[in-house]
Amino acid sequence: MSEIIRSFDPIAGARSRILVLGTMPGVMSLQKQQYYGHPRNAFWPVMASLCGTELPQRYEERRTMLLEAGIALWDVCRQCEREGSLDSRICNEEPNEIPALLRRFPGIRAIAFNGKGAEKLFRRYFASYADTYETLVLPSTSPAYTLTFERKLEGWRRLLPYLSGRPAGMPADTR
C-alpha cells in the first residue's frame, strides 16, 4: 500500500551555482532523514570525488561539502504517494517550489538531474525553466541503476565547471 511521503528542505547557500534535483528520498533516506541515506547509493562518494576530498562520515559535514563546492540539492517532489523507493512508483505528486528557490539563490546557473526520472518530473511542472537554465541529465546514483561507480562518476564529471572547490588542474568555468 502506498503512503504519502514528504521531501526534505533544500540544501542551498549563497555560493550555490548548480542545483542538483532528485525525485523523492527513498525509504532508507526518509528513515535517516538524510538525502541519499542508502549506503549503496553512490551520490555522496561521487560528490566527494568531484570535490577532491575524502568522503565525510557525518551527514552535516557532507552538507557543508556541497555548500562549499557551490552545489544546491533538493527534490522535484514536495510530497507524493509511493510504495517502496522506486521512482516508477511515484504517484499523486506535488512539486516543490523550485522557482522560489531559484529566485532566492540567483547564482544558480544550471540544473542537474540525478537520473531521468527527476528530469521527467521537472519538465512536467517547470518546463519553461528548462529553457532558462542549462540542464544536465546525469546517471542515477541509485543502487537500482546498475552502472558501475566509475561510469556514474564519469557522467557526473559534467558538474566540474560549476564547482568552486574543484580539484587542481580542473578547468575553470568560462561563463
3-state helix, strand, coil in the chain (%, to 5): 40, 20, 40
Rounded CA-CA distance 46/44 in Å is 5
| Catalytic annotation present for 96 | no
Report the b/e string of 88-126 with b at 16+ CB within 10 A. eebeebebbebeebbeebeebbbbbbbbebbbebbeeeb
Residue of 41, 92, 96, 114 with catalytic role: 41
Residue keyed to cell 546517471: 139
Indicate which residues carry an active-site annotation.
41
